[in-house]
Amino acid sequence: MTLQLTDEEREIAAGSQGEGAAMAMRIVVEAARLLGAARLIPIKSAHIDGALYHGDSGTLLAERLVRGGARVAVRSTLNVGALDLTGCSQIRLPDQQRGMARRMMSAYAELGCEASWTCAPYQAGHRPEFGTDVAWGESNAVVFCNSVLGARTNRYGDFLDIACAISARAPETGLHLPANRIPAVNVDFSALDREFLASDVAWPVLGSLYGRLVGDAIGIITGVETDPGEDDLKAFGAAAASSGAVGLFHIDGITPEARNGEAGWQTSEIIAVSPEMVADARSRLSTAIRPDRIDAVAIGSPHLSIEEFRRLERALAGRKLSVPLYACTGRHALHWLEESRRRKALEALGVVIVADTCVVVTPIMRELAGGVLMTNSGKFAHYAPGNTGYDVLYASLEECVESAVSGRPTLNGIHHGH
């Protein structure tokens, strides 16, 4: 398929709007050619994952775009960076890397991106309308945008995301095309206990299982009678995008594209999920084998919402923690914590609030050989062993809090250990 460009797109690529805009357009055009797209399509917004420091080249690219006079042409929010610019938490990066990470974050702000620094932009007011084309990076944001909001985006990788934002174009391919959003697999949850489905512990486990079952296929989940709510759908999508290459899921009667008469979709495969499959998926989220202590708790991947902070407060009930509990969030929730005078109260109990970033992408927790990290996040459970060196114990939010109070793993109210 030959890529057809408009006269305007060709002119921008040739430099009519400056070298920065030309470079961005050329990146998008080349990506479209590689993906076999027939044309570029206009986008309404972007969410940029490329501002997390992984090495100097990313910083130098952003600064080159700035020098070339580039500016984003659509609303563009920023995913987490490598530094907590709010000063809530201490980042243990060496000076040289800290300096480059700061330069990178500054360059993206100069390009006109919003300093949101959150992996949950959809809970910070960036919610594209149903059916609109956008270019989002960050796997959990992509899957939420497609599945829960019904906007259309592919999984845009680092640097293609900012190029799309500057050119206000994306390749017409993948999940931008309605035909590619139709489910091929029916994943049936009807054999699962209703009480389990109503619990917060269920959805990261189910997401992790779902991602492994479907890979990059589009699936529709059946057998869920009650809308789990936004925070549980967020947790499900994040875990599914970590264990598989999930960019879009449907839940029959609940998510927007599976609500409007499209329930007549014929799938070529049905997978009946059994309680045994769920138990196996849950055990896979923990790498620590019956530990007798925990060293830290981390929650907030994706970033904690205001409602999740309320749940944390209820679980804490004013008790002091004996190990640090890292609560990762964005500025939208931090602002609420400060306005309502909750931040100081939580910190006095031993909660370490982490804003702009999270403990899995930048060094915040102390290095500890054989350390045990407890979490209620399927995404943290997936990435933490490789990224932090800690073994992981997966549990509900309430179990995480009980364990952080006692310093010992408390699952379902029972101390576990030797």
For 321, which DSSP code?
Answer: P
Q: What pTM was computed for the model? A: 0.96
Find all residues with CB under 8 Å of 297, minimum gap 6, and list them. Answer: 323, 324, 325, 326, 373, 374, 375, 400, 401, 403, 404
Task: Say which amino acid occupies 7.
Answer: D
The per-type count for the chain, helices as H runs and strands as E runs, is 15, 16
What domains can you pick out in the chain, each with its CATH number? 7-179 (3.30.499.10), 182-284 (no CATH), 296-415 (3.30.499.10)
DSSP E strands in 24-156: the ranges are 40-42, 45-48, 75-78, 135-136
β-pairing verdict for 351-355 and 410-411: unpaired
In the block, tokens 């775009």 appear at 65
390 vs 124: CA distance, rounded Å? 30
Residues in the chain: 418
DSSP E strands in 241-304: the ranges are 249-251, 269-272, 296-304
Partners of residue 270 on adjacent β-strands = 186
79 vs 42: CA distance, rounded Å? 22
Whether the Cβ atoms of residue 143 and residue 121 lie closer than 8 Å to each other? no
Would you give per-residue pLDDT tens digits along the chain (418 residues)? 799 999 999 999 999 999 999 999 999 999 999 999 999 999 999 999 999 999 999 999 999 999 999 999 999 999 999 999 999 999 999 999 999 999 999 999 999 999 999 999 999 999 999 999 999 999 999 999 999 999 999 999 999 999 999 999 999 999 999 999 999 999 999 999 999 999 989 999 999 999 999 999 999 999 999 999 999 999 999 999 999 999 999 999 999 999 865 557 889 999 999 999 999 999 999 999 889 999 999 999 999 999 999 999 999 999 999 999 999 999 999 999 999 999 999 999 999 999 999 999 999 998 888 899 999 999 999 999 999 999 999 999 999 999 999 999 998 755 554 3
28 vs 170: CA distance, rounded Å? 7
Torsion on CA atoms 44, 33, 66, 61, rounded to nearest 10: 130
Whether the Cβ atoms of residue 89 and residue 324 lie closer than 8 Å to each other? no
Partners of residue 75 on adjacent β-strands = 45
Alpha-helix residue ranges (DSSP H) falling in 299-392:
306-316, 331-339, 342-349, 378-388
